[in-house]
Structure 1
Amino acid sequence: MFQAERRDVAYQPPKLSAPKEQDQPRLVHVPDPDREDMYFPDIWLRDNCLCKECFLPQTLSRLPQLWNNLDTSVRVLRHSVDRDQKILFIEWSDGHASQYPFSWLRERDFSPANRQRYLRECYRPEQILWSGQDFEQIRQVFYYEELISCDAALRQWLYHLAVYGVAMVKDAPLEMDVLRRLSNRVGFMRRTTYGEEFSVRAQPGASNYAYLAAPLPLHTDMPYLEYLPGVTMLHTLEQSASPGGVNLLADAFYVAEMMRDRYPEQFRVLCQTPVDWADIGSDGDLKFHNIWRAPVINLDAEGQCMRINHSIPQRDSHFSVPVEQVRPWYEAMATFVGLAHEHSSRFKTTPGDVLTFNNLRLVHGRTGYDDTEHNVRHILGAFIDWDIVYSRLRVLRNARQLT
């Protein structure tokens, strides 16, 4: 296991008397007798003035008037600190005056340590990546009734899901509304072309590969959607008594980081080659033709993995790239798939289990199974978006801090 670290530079105290002022941020020094001093860019302070002309308390947001004619040359004329009340006062070159409580400034301090604290505690927990051999160590069980009735348990489940990308819920009733009740505890379900909930069991003549009893290779759900569903929830209602139907699960971010380290050129290929993902068919009366072009490995602005796209049945035969990029992509993809299988975990759910995992990060599949009248495998599935999960986590965290 290893932690997905955010890249940052070491913090250096600003040099306020640099020879080329235009090359340096204009910083306001705020001495704090109780903690380390703080430094803030002057234009950021002006943008975030908290007076009634600039800020609307009931919406916790700035008013747009300043931005209708933003003067980026605005300067601090005078500033002072009330050490007793712990307030910073500023008079501006545009005639405006502002004041900022130390408590508010401290939450927004630009020091690397504070930025990291905010990103880790409020924005999103840092992810810990894992190999298949680590699965039993990171696997954590939560219980359905506790999640429904206890906010502390709910917070722990969502936090674990955010950090490790997978969590198992046990002892759920064998009822059709289990996923809806769990989703409502978080926020609400994500609707797709297959509805809000989908039933996975063998269907003759199925239009979706998941509805066959054949082996289901490792994949992410719905890579053909630009707005990919974030969290997959699979509730086992009936499980095949045959040796098959075994779940396969791998942390594809772990695999991607291995490729970045061991096979950097193939990693680059999977990050930069757009692939055509498609889903053409119907569900009930709804006909659809979904297409999304994106690489297998998607990185954020800091170079960290943010989304994996992979599904063999739903990769289109259209490949809209120059011909010289085709073979290198196949070679890189063969490495990716091989590593994903090598570092996957295997387990079999039982009736009442709800497997929950990060669909942007993990690839999942299952082995084939015998499908007969007396040997049925029935899984009910649903999605929640990560935006909703993170929002609920922050609300639960804030409520905990107030108690």
Structure 2
Amino acid sequence: MLSCKHLIGPLLNRQFRRHASGITAQLLEQRYVELAQPDGQRLKYPSIWLRDNCQCPECFHAETRARKSHWERGPLHVKAKRVSYDEKSQQLIVNWEDAHSSSYDLEWLQDRDFGQQSRQRYLNEVYKPPVQLWGKSQFGEVTREFSYDDVLKQDSVLRDWLEALAVQGFALLHGAPHDTEVARHLAERIGHIKRTTYGDVFEVKSKPNAKNYAYLMTPLPLHTDMPYYEYKAGINILHTLVQSSSPGGANMMTDGFFIADKMRREHPDYYEVLRTIPVNWFDIGHDGDAGKPFHSLWRAPVICLDVDGQFARINQNTTKRDSRFTVPLDQAMSWYEAYDKFLQLAQAEAVEFKTRAGDVFVFNNLRMLHGRTAYEDSPDNKRHLIGAYVDWDIIYSKLRTLKFPNARN
């Protein structure tokens, strides 16, 4: 039989309340609060996090979903005194040492579980859908096609289209009218256009005295647009207004994340070079006779990762790579060798297809390398595309409002 002496330590560090529902609330060493559910699942939260996220009107402004308290009056040194679970309201109740009380809905707590499975579910389902990498042989399987009218008129189709852009990285729309505002309408259906030095919408066609390489009839090598922007455009919307009847003018595309992953697995030394050595990307000039001059510069590696170590951005544009290479001399040769391997793999995995008038080719500009074959213009044979950009912040926001219309903080 245990003496009182043996029980004093555990009781000082663990407050315990049990109800008929079977849910148990426990305070562990005044640092954590744990809920044990009837199915055996245990939800554990830092007490400082609970105080920081108190949902009472004094601490939280529900209408704006904003925390009202300031960190200088924050929870670091305020400890939980007692915890209990109210079966009727299905709430965790926490009484603090400064006489403040907090209550938390069970469902709210379950959605914010610190367990690995719950965290991963939030990252995949709410934060960003996980991407599906693909090579040339999988192109037919991953291609998603939509009706232009359906995307404009049906929220369910809009959601599917945006998810395809997030997961597969591209999608094709058919049936767009012969209207120079198609790209703008799609961008505004999502949210709003990203305006660049080339305007809010831009034209891709053969131009005399072209100020951009894309306005020539020559082959356009695989690239991403605007690597010279710190906040690079998220998606590229390209509406084929008129398609060339010449053999050329076909679209080319490669999944840049697939190539980066292939480099990581098969050529790890080259991969590290492209992941770590910054490149100077630039754009200098003006667009059109009346265009304002611009001088855009950004230094970044070819392969960029996010905070979770996932692929976030590919920078590749041979025509916009600066002759200034501001790295130590001994890194230059190794970079060129790695870059050559990257381009070799990208070209080998490139798919080719030719859009028709009324098609809209939309793709993730942070991920997809795109280009086109050469073509010939004549008075009776023109190729005319109209494009627009939208940032991923806007796209993900729209996607979440469609998936979670009743989301709460």
Could you list the per-position Cα deviations for residues 151-181 of structure 1 after superposition, in whole angstroms to 9, with x for gaps in the alignment? 1111110011111100000010010111111
| Aligned twin of 2:367 | 361
Aligned to 1:234: 238
| 1:251-285 superposed Cα distances (whole Å, 9 cap, x missing partner) | 00000001111111111110110110000000233
Task: Look up the match of 1:86.
Answer: 90
**For the structure 1 residues 133 and 113, does the alpha-carbon distance in structure 2 shift closer, same or farther, using more than 3 Å as the test?**
same
Structure 1 position 225 matched with structure 2 position 229: yes
Q: Matches of 1:269 and 1:354 in 2, distance apart?
A: 36
Match of 1:380 in 2: 386
Q: Give yes or no for the alignment of 1:95 onto 2:99.
A: yes
Matched, 1:33 2:70: no
TM-aligned CA deviation for residue 130 of structure 1 = 0.4
Identify the match of residue 274 of structure 1 among 268, 274, 278.
Answer: 278
CA distance in 2, matches of 1:177, 1:72: 54
Residue 208 in 1 paired to residue 235 in 2? no
Matches of 1:400 and 1:68, distance apart in 2:
32
Of the three residues 389, 394, 398, the one matched with 2:395 is 389
Q: C-alpha distance in 1, partners of 2:276/2:72?
A: 38
1:306 corresponds in structure 2 to 312
Moved over 6 A (4+): none
How far did residue 103 of structure 1 move? 1.1
Name the Cα RMSD after superposition: 1.8
Aligned to 1:4: none
Q: Which moved more, 1:227-236 or 1:116-125?
A: 116-125
Say whether residues 1:64 and 2:69 are aligned partners: yes
1:312-341 C-alpha deviation (Å, 9 max, x unpaired): 010011111100000000000001001111
Q: Deviations over 1:121-160 (max 9, x none)?
A: 1111111110011111100110011111111111110011
1:151-162 correspondence runs (5 A): 151-162=155-166
Find the aligned partners of 1:95 and 1:351 in 2 and give their Cα distance.
69
- State how far apart, in whole Å, the 2-side matches of 1:380 and 1:236 are: 7
- Which residue number in structure 1 is paired with residue 337 of structure 2? 331
Native 8 Å contact 2:133 2:257 kept in 1: yes
1:254 to 239, 258, 281: 258
Give the match for residue 316 of structure 1.
Answer: 322
Could you tell me how far 1:25 is from its partner in structure 2?
10
Bigger Rg, which one: 2
Change (3 A) 1:400 1:247: farther
CA apart distance, 1:111: 1.3
* TM-fit CA distance, 1:69: 3.1
SS at the partner of 2:362? strand
Among 52, 65, 87, the residue aligned to 1:47:
52
1:326 partner letter: A
DSSP 3-state at the match of 1:59: coil
**Residue of structure 1 in register with 2:111 after alignment:** 107
Change in Cα spacing, 1:348 to 1:48, as seen in structure 2 (3 Å) is same
Give, in angstroms, the shift of residue 26 of structure 1: 2.9
CA contact (8 A) 2:48 2:75 kept: no
Of the three residues 292, 296, 300, the one matched with 1:290 is: 296
Structure 1: how far apart are the matches of 2:157 and 2:310? Answer: 29
Determine which of 169, 194, 206 is the counterpart of 1:190: 194
| Percent identity (aligned) | 47
Question: What CA distance in whole angstroms lies between the structure 1 residues aligned with 2:360 and 2:85?
Answer: 55
Gaps of 5+ in 2: 1-12, 15-28
Q: Which residue of 2 aligns with 1:5?
A: none
Rate the CA distance shift 1:167–1:104 in 2: closer, same or farther, 3 A: same
Q: Which region of structure 1 is more displaced relative to structure 2, 381-390 or 94-103?
A: 94-103
Q: Please, what TM-score do these two structures have when normalized by structure 2?
A: 0.90
Q: TM-score when scaled to structure 1?
A: 0.91
